[in-house]
Amino acid sequence: MQINIIVLAAGKGTRMRSQRAKGLHTIGGIPMISHVLDAALSLQPASVGVVLGHQADAIEVQINKIDPRIQRIDQFEQKGTGHAVQVAVDALPASAVTLVVYGDVPLIQPQTLEAAIASATKGRVGLVTAVFADPAQLGRIVRDDEGAIQRIVEFKDASPDERQIREINSGILAAPTELLHGWLNKVEPNNQQGEYYLTDVIAMAVADSVYVDGIFAASPDEVKGVNDRIQLAELERVYQHQQVEDLMLQGLSVADPSRVDIRGTLNIGQDCFIDINVVFTGDVTLGDNVYIGPNSVISDSTLGDGVQVKPNSVVEGAVVAGGCELGPFARIRPGTELGRGVKIGNFVEVKKSKLSAGVKAGHLAYLGDATIGPDCNIGAGTVTCNYDGRNKHPTVIGRDVFVGTNSTLVAPLHIGDEAFIAAGSTITKAVADSELAVGRGKQRNITGWTPPVKSKK
Active site residues: 363
- CA atoms of 363 and 261, how far apart (whole Å): 29
Give 74's strand partners. 52
Query: Which residue type is seen at 65?
Result: K
Q: Which of 312, 340, 338 is nearest to 327 (CA)?
A: 312
- Look at residues 290, 249, 246, 251 and name the one whose alpha carbon lies nearest to residue 265: 246
Q: Kindly report each contact of residues 266-269 with a partner whose C-beta sits within 8 Å and lies 24 or more positions away, as own/partner.
A: 269/305
Give dist(CA 233, CA 231) in Å, integer: 5
Burial class (CB in 10 A: 0-12, 13-18, 19+), 296: buried
Which burial class, exposed, middle or buried, applies to 294 when counting CB atoms under 10 A from its CB (0-12, 13-18, 19+)?
A: middle
CB–CB of 373/417 below 8 Å? yes
Which residues does residue 32 pair with via DSSP β-bridges, in sequence order? none
Asked if residue 21 lies in contact with residue 55, where contact means CB atoms within 8 angstroms, the answer is yes
Residue 81: its H or E element: helix 81-89
Kindly list the distances between the CA atom of residue 173 and the CA atoms of 101, 148, 181, 196, 264, in Å, as whole numbers in the listed order.
7, 16, 14, 16, 29
CA-based nearest residue to 421, from 376, 386, 385: 376
Dihedrals φ, ψ of 456, to 5°?
Answer: -85, 140
Question: Whole-angstrom Cα distance, residue 35 to residue 322?
Answer: 34
Residues in Cβ contact with 240 at an 8 Å cutoff, skipping those fewer than 6 apart? 28, 258, 260, 261, 262
The contacts of residue 203 (CB under 8 Å, 6+ apart) are 150, 151, 152
What is the C-alpha to C-alpha distance for residues 239 and 225, in angstroms, rounded to an integer? Answer: 13
Q: Is the distance from CB of 350 to CB of 332 less than 8 angstroms?
A: yes
Give kind and range of the element (H or E) at residue 179. Answer: helix 177-186
What does the alpha-carbon distance between residue 144 and residue 157 come to, in Å, rounded to a whole number? 18
Q: How far is the CA of 62 from the CAs of 31, 44, 59, 442, in angstroms?
A: 8, 19, 5, 61
